[in-house]
């Protein structure tokens, strides 16, 4: 028996290039007092110490840098300190390279946009809800939208029995997309229709969507406004196609959308495949073809700008299970803007009598009255174009360039779909916010772009993190990524005592098979495997062992060293 298997304190062997050393997994939990002292480098702040200080002397530049230093530095290559502050300042300006601040710029961009948005709102001296306000009983990941959209969302929030900001904001966006989708265009020539999915656990109050939206429609006081929102369950693409040809431009409310997504992911479900195809094609479509039958009296003419909007809600498990490679490959899922809520159920709201202000109510009614003119499939007025301020347009153009660069930088189809329509969705959201504020002459401001980009970036980040952790899909690769996530968490933080991990096993990077089985047994990627969760996990572990990520520990070692009598694996390395 080899010595490295018997040594229970052995954490890991040498790690090849491109893998993550196990001793680095706990780096974020390390006490900073135990870290080694930082060595002074050419760019260190020690160069900036006052030469009059009696406690520390400046550190001279290293020999390899002397060639590019000023003459006085070359003359003092014996490490002696300069004689004046001016000499040090000259060296700092001419020889020390500037730090790379690109990472800081990327992290600061969102903060800058938020500040600009709040400043713009304050200049208007209005009652707009500041972007930094959060009134949810659970901490919200989304800030209130600016302007009229924010006030509509807050109205829905305060009149909900289980108030959740994500639910209210998603409902407000969906309603505005259904109302404004056909009447307005982006300055790039696209409609304002949106496909939205709210992903949250059961019982948190997602039904607030189906209660709040009809209330706002009724408040408009316009009878025809009811056609902007339809709760019809279209059982096929043919049924939805006919509806769009006769009554284009509406929001379709979908309860438990995850179940329908599951059917769409099944290639043998022909009606749902037709519905999926129509939904894919209708997004941003300039013209929807008509229908021709053998009986010419039943023929239906095509329609310009169908402007279909969708708003569905589902649970995380149902939604993530449907994100198969096939669903991503044709761009179906990339058309959806996903809003996630990971919090719990809020306390009930006993007082639900909040009203819109007279000004907001008048503005809402005027917007609906304007949009009703575009409900007919023919003979509608020319659409209103939403323009943008120079700074808002520059931010949107910059985001589009970022999306293109990220899309071209990867071959992962999941990753590509994340970026493929991110700019278009940001553009539509910003336009909706602008229309809600000024429906006659809408203009995108920096506050609209700031909020829209934050929303889209959260959508991107949530999807990417889910994909990387193995939560997306049901493929073999998905199962392996999920096991890697569980193993990484196992090394970083001790599992709860209920798992009964013998002392010393985690320190030696040995993970029991039973621990992994408990963690994976209820996950769709494992539980729905055609041969069962046990076989799915065994196949994934076998693949990881063949790839050199883990090795099975002999029973004698487990029994003698840890008094453990099951199967366990030593973690050798973890992929990025």
State the pLDDT at residue 189.
Answer: 94
Helix (H/G/I), strand (E/B), else coil: 16: coil
pLDDT digits (tens, 9 = 90+) for 363-422: 999 999 999 999 999 889 999 999 999 999 999 999 999 999 999 998 877 788 889 999
Helix (H/G/I), strand (E/B), else coil: 553: coil
Number of alpha carbons in the 13 Å side-chain half-sphere of residue 170: 34
State the pLDDT at residue 234.
Answer: 92
Tell which wins on pLDDT, 125 or 209. Answer: 209
Give me the torsion for CA of 551, 556, 560, 561, rounded to 10°: -10
Q: Quick one: which of 381, 254, 231, 364 has its CA closest to 305?
A: 381
Residue 208 pLDDT > 80, yes or no?
yes
CA separation, residue 575 to residues 480, 481, 488, 526, 571 (Å): 10, 9, 10, 20, 11
| Distance linking the first and last C-alpha atoms of the chain | 31
Average pLDDT over residues 253-280: 88
Return d(Cα 230, Cα 96) in angstroms, integer: 64
Angle at 470 between CA 469 and CA 476, to 5 degrees: 150
Backbone φ and ψ for 9, nearest 5 degrees, come out as -90, -5
State the pLDDT at residue 412.
Answer: 76
Average pLDDT over residues 61-67: 42
Residue 54 pLDDT > 80, yes or no?
no
Give this prediction's pTM: 0.68
Backbone φ and ψ for 483, nearest 5 degrees, come out as -65, -40
pLDDT digits (tens, 9 = 90+) for 78-104: 444 455 555 555 544 444 444 545 455
Q: Quick one: which of 187, 194, 543, 495 has its CA closest to 335?
A: 194
Which ranges in 231-300 belong to alpha helices (H)? 237-246, 257-264, 270-282
Delineate the domains of the chain, giving CATH numbers in brackets: 3-26+474-575 (no CATH), 45-95 (no CATH), 104-345+353-468 (3.40.50)
Other beta carbons within 10 Å of 128: 22
Encoding tokens for residue 551?
């090795």
Which ranges in 163-207 belong to alpha helices (H)? 165-180
Burial level of 407, CB count in 10 A (0-12/13-18/19+)?
middle
Residue 5 pLDDT > 70, yes or no?
no
CB 44 within 8 A of CB 56: no
Number of alpha carbons in the 13 Å side-chain half-sphere of residue 343: 19
Which residues neighbour 381 within 8 Å (Cβ) at sequence distance 6 or greater?
A: 373, 374
Return d(Cα 568, Cα 18) in angstroms, integer: 25
Return d(Cα 473, Cα 322) in angstroms, integer: 6
pLDDT digits (tens, 9 = 90+) for 252-265: 998 888 888 888 88
Q: Quick one: which of 273, 275, 286 has its CA closest to 242?
A: 275
Average pLDDT over residues 498-527: 87
Which residues neighbour 184 within 8 Å (Cβ) at sequence distance 6 or greater?
A: 191, 192, 383, 384, 385, 386, 431, 435, 442
pLDDT digits (tens, 9 = 90+) for 448-488: 999 999 999 999 987 777 776 666 666 777 788 889 989 99
């Amino acid at each position: 028996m080899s010595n490295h298997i018997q040594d229970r304190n052995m954490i890991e062997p040498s790690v090849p290039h491109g893998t993550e050393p196990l001793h680095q997994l706990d780096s974020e939990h390390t006490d900073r007092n135990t870290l080694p002292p930082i060595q002074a480098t050419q760019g260190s702040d020690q160069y900036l110490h006052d030469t009059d200080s009696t406690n520390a002397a400046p550190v001279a530049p290293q020999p390899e840098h002397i060639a590019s230093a000023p003459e006085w530095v070359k003359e003092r290559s014996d490490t002696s300190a300069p004689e004046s502050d001016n000499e040090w300042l000259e060296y700092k300006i001419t020889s020390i390279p500037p730090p790379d601040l690109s990472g800081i710029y990327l992290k600061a961009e969102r903060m800058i946009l938020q500040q600009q948005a709040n400043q713009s709102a304050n200049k208007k001296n209005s009652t707009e809800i500041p972007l930094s306000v959060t009134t949810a009983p659970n901490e919200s990941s989304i800030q209130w939208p600016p302007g009229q959209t924010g006030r509509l969302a807050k109205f829905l929030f305060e009149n909900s029995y289980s108030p959740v900001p994500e639910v209210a904001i998603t409902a407000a966006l969906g309603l505005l997309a259904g109302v404004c989708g056909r009447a307005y265009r982006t300055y790039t020539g696209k409609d304002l229709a949106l496909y939205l999915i709210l992903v949250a656990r059961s019982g948190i109050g997602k039904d607030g969507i189906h209660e709040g939206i009809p209330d706002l429609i009724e408040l408009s006081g316009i009878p025809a406004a009811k056609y902007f929102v339809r709760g019809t369950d279209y059982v096929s693409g043919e049924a939805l196609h006919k509806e769009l040809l006769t009554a284009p431009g509406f929001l379709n409310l979908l309860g438990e959308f995850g179940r329908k997504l599951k059917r769409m992911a099944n290639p043998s479900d022909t009606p749902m495949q037709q519905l999926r195809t129509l939904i894919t094609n209708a997004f941003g479509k300039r013209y929807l073809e008509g229908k021709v039958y053998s009986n010419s009296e039943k023929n239906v003419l095509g329609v310009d700008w169908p402007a279909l909007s969708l708003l569905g809600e589902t649970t995380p498990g149902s939604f993530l299970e449907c994100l198969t490679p096939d669903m991503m490959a044709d761009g179906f899922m990339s058309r959806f803007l996903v809003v996630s809520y990971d919090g719990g159920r809020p306390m009930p709201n006993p007082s639900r009598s909040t009203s819109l202000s007279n000004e907001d109510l008048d503005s809402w009614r005027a917007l609906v009255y304007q949009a009703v003119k575009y409900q007919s499939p023919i003979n509608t007025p020319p659409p209103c174009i939403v323009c943008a301020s120079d700074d808002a347009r520059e931010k949107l153009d910059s985001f589009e360039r970022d999306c293109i660069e990220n899309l071209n930088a990867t071959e992962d189809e999941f990753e590509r779909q994340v970026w493929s329509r991110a700019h278009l969705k940001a553009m539509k959201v910003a336009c909706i916010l602008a229309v809600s504020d000024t429906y006659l002459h809408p203009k995108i401001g920096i506050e609209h772009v700031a909020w829209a980009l934050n929303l889209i970036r959260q959508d991107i980040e949530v999807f990417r993190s889910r994909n990387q952790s193995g939560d997306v899909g049901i493929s073999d690769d998905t199962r392996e990524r999920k096991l890697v996530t569980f193993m990484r968490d196992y090394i970083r933080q001790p599992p709860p005592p209920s798992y009964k991990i013998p002392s010393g096993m985690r320190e030696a990077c040995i993970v029991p098979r039973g621990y992994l089985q408990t963690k994976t047994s209820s996950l769709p990627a494992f539980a729905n495997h055609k041969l069962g969760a046990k076989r799915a996990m065994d196949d994934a572990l076998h693949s990881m062992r063949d790839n050199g990520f883990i090795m099975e520990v002999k029973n004698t070692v487990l029994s003698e060293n840890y008094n453990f009598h099951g199967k366990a694996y030593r973690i050798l390395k973890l992929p990025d």
